[in-house]
């Protein structure tokens, strides 16, 4: 009961952070408030290799319309205690505004080293290379995401708060185009089910909308 209460309070706090975004004008093409409920299912093939299934249907336009649908499949492999890699494919249908629709085939490869720090903190550095086919136009993108986290035991459960920042280089603009900042926490609910709630702020002046306030969840199912 205590962990459920803390989880609810955390989500209320995160939602409160985005309250200024809810007051923004709906006709501002650069800004949006969105909800991202992502589901990740991991199936263990052996002790070092996992099959990963991904799905989401995201809300935007101030949480009033379905703007993004994604389905994905891939493999995650543990190379060593502090190094992992991934190879995944996603099909994405995106409609950020009523007059803009795109479909995307995306392949990405990840390499993620991790390092234990003092006082129980951990640092991870995800390097992601993406091949993207958007409406028949092919481009590449590099994404670098640094994440700090520190687990805490509360009763019989472990909660892991984290903060992370990601920056992206897009060959379509030949520039670093997008920055994202996350704050969130992972909570194991029952066996095979982990809840991950977060607030994300995005800055991207080259797309519309590019300045986002996002409340999201990663629902993680492990088998």
| CATH 1.10.8 for the 2-222 domain, yes or no | no
Q: What is the pLDDT of residue 155?
A: 81
Q: Which residue has better confidence, 123 or 97?
A: 123
Q: What is the overall mean pLDDT for the chain?
A: 90
Check whether the bond before 209 is cis (ω within 30° of 0): yes
Other beta carbons within 10 angstroms of residue 28's beta carbon come to 12
What number is the average pLDDT over the span 134-138? 97
- How much of the chain exceeds pLDDT 70, in percent? 88
Closest CA to 166 of 119, 128, 216: 128
- How many angstroms separate the CA atoms of 132 and 54, rounded? 17
Could you tell me the residue ranges of all domains in the chain? 2-222
> What pLDDT digit, counting tens, does each position of 65-76 carry?
999 999 999 999
What number is the average pLDDT over the span 141-160? 93
**pLDDT interval class at 1 (50, 70, 90):** very low
What number is the average pLDDT over the span 23-51? 87
């Amino acid at each position: 009961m205590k962990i459920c209460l803390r989880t609810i309070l955390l989500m209320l706090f995160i939602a409160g952070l985005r309250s200024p975004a809810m007051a923004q004008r709906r006709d501002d093409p650069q800004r949006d408030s969105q909800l991202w409920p992502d589901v990740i299912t991991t199936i263990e093939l052996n002790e070092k290799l996992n099959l990963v299934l991904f799905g989401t249907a995201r809300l935007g336009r101030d949480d009033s319309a379905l703007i993004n649908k994604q389905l994905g499949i891939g493999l995650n492999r543990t190379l060593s205690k502090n190094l992992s890699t991934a190879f995944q494919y996603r099909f994405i249908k995106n409609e950020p505004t009523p007059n803009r629709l795109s479909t995307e085939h995306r392949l990405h490869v990840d390499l993620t080293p991790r390092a234990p720090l003092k006082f129980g903190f951990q640092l991870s550095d995800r390097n992601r290379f993406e091949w993207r086919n958007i409406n028949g136009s092919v481009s590449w993108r590099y994404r670098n995401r640094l994440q700090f986290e520190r687990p805490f035991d509360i009763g019989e459960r472990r909660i892991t708060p984290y903060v992370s920042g990601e920056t992206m280089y897009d060959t379509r603009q030949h520039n670093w185009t997008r920055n994202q900042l996350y704050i969130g926490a992972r909570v194991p609910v029952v066996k095979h089910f982990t809840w991950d709630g977060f607030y994300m702020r995005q800055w991207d002046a080259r797309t519309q909308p590019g300045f986002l306030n996002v409340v999201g969840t990663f629902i993680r199912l492990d088998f």
